[in-house]
Structure 1
Amino acid sequence: MQYPLNTPLGRMGVQTLEEGPHRCVASIPVGGLLNPLTGLPTVAPLAMLIDHVGGLVNHYRRAKAEWTVSSELAVELTPDAMALIGATPDLPVVATGRPFGPKGTGSLAVCELGHGDTVVGTATVRSFHIQTPGHLVEWPTDTSAGTPPATLRERMSVAVAETGGATVVLRQLADPVVNNSIGIVHGGISAAALELVGSAALGGAEEALWRTASIRVNYLRQFRGGTQSRYEARVLRSGRSSGVADAQAVGDDGKVALLARLTAYR
């Protein structure tokens, strides 16, 4: 299934290849997309793919009067993931998701990330089961083909903020196209942005050898784009061979909506 360009999935180029209660498969283009903060290749779009596939698996487990919202997302990548993706940029990354364990207050999905015949990562998505919201935003039914914007910055509706000091900041602009069906920024968009600021905090072009190895995201509350909405990251450790950064999404109200920790290696 190909999504309209005025939806977050269509904007990011996600295509659902298979879906059902036991297995969901989707793809996303990653090669050639650059981190707007560093100008370097990035694995950030994988967060969008993982949130979609894992969330879809969990959504199939909901009861009749239930809805699902992401509560945690975690990614583990192989050391050569970015190099493999960059070597054949026209080949999308494919995620295959399956349910893991019994359903409780929430559900857990496990995903495998493949690039061609090579596994480049694993991931999990945990979702809460909540009462179906009173109002859901209806996505367009037109699924005609189209081309997403050329840059990752445009696809995610983010802007580089002018900041000083040790904190890296990326603004989340108000744009209904990147919102999910309950009218907040899609969890995959916000998780991807946390990877962008986290990896940028560790170093710019002069530190091109940093490779994101893992990122874990916690969704704390609803997050909306706005004049003060932003993603920010600060380095916890930057050593010879490993680095760790903490990132967060802060809404217009000044409250932290998402938290993440990113680990990278040289």
Structure 2
Amino acid sequence: MSHPLNTPLGRFGIVTSVDGPAECVASIPVGGMTNALTGAPTIAPLAMLVDHACGLVNHRRRGPDEWTVSSELSVEVDPDAAAIIAEAPEEPVVATARPFGRKTDVALAVCDLAHRDTVLATATVRSFYIRTPGALGSFSDGPTGPMPPGTLADRMAVRVAEGGGAGQVLLQGEDPVLNNLIGIVHGGVSAMALEMVASAAINSARDDDLLRTSSLRVNFLRPFHSGAESRYVGTSLRVGRSTGVGEAQAIGSGGAPAIIARLTGYR
């Protein structure tokens, strides 16, 4: 199932082929995508795919008066993932997600991500079940098809901050297509941006032989809205010869972190 281009899923070319409480199978194109800050190939779209596939499994397990809100997302990635994808960039990455454990007030879903016959990553999403919000929006019907033209940053409506100060900074511009049904920036979009700024932070002093993402862990703390002051900030915690650890925050207009992430990279 191709998603309308006026939705977050359609914007990034996600196609869902299996959709149910026991399994979700979905794909996303990743080949040719680059980090807006470094210009290097990026695996950030894997975070968007994980948020969708695992989040959908959790969502399909909801009760009649429940809705889901993601609270945690984690991805463990083969550091060679970008190179493997580049061998056949026209082939999408496919996620197969399934429930893990019992559903209570929260639920956990796990998934494997593969490119052709090679498993690239394993991932999880934990979701809270809340009472159905009273003012859910809706996505209008629209055309479906391949991703619109432009860079990954264009599709995410992010731009590099000029003179970003401490750390690596992407500004989150307003674009209603990137919002979910409760009117906040889609969690997968934010997870992609957090990966990009954290990766850039641990590679800020490296001209080549870049550290490659191997682990990304995201915690969603509060709603994150786009706007003039909304931004993603990445900083390095420790960088060695062959490994580095960085952190990232999504910060809204109030100045408090709405989403935080920790990234580990290896040479």
The alignment's TM-score, normalised by the length of structure 2, stands at: 0.97
1:31-180 aligned at under 5 Å gives the runs 31-180=31-180
In 2: Cα distance, 1:95 partner to 1:48 partner: 11
1:108-257 aligned at under 5 Å gives the runs 108-204=108-204, 206-257=207-258
CA-based RMSD = 1.2
In 1: Cα distance, 2:147 partner to 2:24 partner: 24
**Aligned partner of residue 79 in structure 2, secondary structure:** coil
The alpha-carbon distance between structure 1 residues 164 and 249, as it changes in their structure 2 partners (threshold 3 A), is: closer
Question: Deviation at 1:140?
Answer: 2.1
**Aligned partner of residue 207 in structure 1, secondary structure:** coil
1:9 aligns with 2:9: yes
**Aligned partner of residue 245 in structure 2, secondary structure:** strand
2:18 equivalent in structure 1:
18
In 2: Cα distance, 1:68 partner to 1:138 partner: 16
CA deviation profile, 1:94-128 (whole Å, cap 9, x unmatched) = 00000000011111000100000010100000000
Q: Which runs of 5+ in 2 are unaligned?
A: none
**Aligned partner of residue 206 in structure 1, secondary structure:** coil
CA contact (8 A) 2:223 2:258 kept: yes
The alpha-carbon distance between structure 1 residues 153 and 164, as it changes in their structure 2 partners (threshold 3 A), is: closer
In 1: Cα distance, 2:63 partner to 2:262 partner: 32
May I ask how many residue pairs the two structures share in their alignment? 266
Question: Deviation at 1:202?
Answer: 1.2
1:264 equivalent in structure 2:
265
Question: Deviation at 1:164?
Answer: 4.8
Question: Deviation at 1:44?
Answer: 0.4
CA contact (8 A) 1:40 1:208 kept: no
CA contact (8 A) 2:12 2:147 kept: no
CA contact (8 A) 2:13 2:146 kept: no
Question: Deviation at 1:142?
Answer: 3.1
In 2: Cα distance, 1:79 partner to 1:252 partner: 34
Letter of the 2:109 partner, please give it. Answer: A
CA contact (8 A) 1:250 1:256 kept: yes
Letter of the 2:245 partner, please give it. Answer: V
CA contact (8 A) 1:48 1:188 kept: yes
**Share of identical aligned residues, percent?**
60
Which is further off, 82-91 or 64-73? Answer: 82-91
In 2: Cα distance, 1:120 partner to 1:13 partner: 19
CA deviation profile, 1:16-36 (whole Å, cap 9, x unmatched) = 111111000000000101111
Q: Which runs of 5+ in 1 are unaligned?
A: none
In 2: Cα distance, 1:99 partner to 1:46 partner: 19
CA deviation profile, 1:231-264 (whole Å, cap 9, x unmatched) = 0011000101100001000001111100000000
The alignment's TM-score, normalised by the length of structure 1, stands at: 0.97
Letter of the 1:251 partner, please give it. Answer: G
In 2: Cα distance, 1:250 partner to 1:92 partner: 31
CA contact (8 A) 1:2 1:143 kept: no
Question: Deviation at 1:150?
Answer: 2.2
Letter of the 1:58 partner, please give it. Answer: N
In 2: Cα distance, 1:185 partner to 1:89 partner: 28
In 2: Cα distance, 1:175 partner to 1:45 partner: 18
**Aligned partner of residue 83 in structure 2, secondary structure:** helix
CA contact (8 A) 1:67 1:133 kept: yes
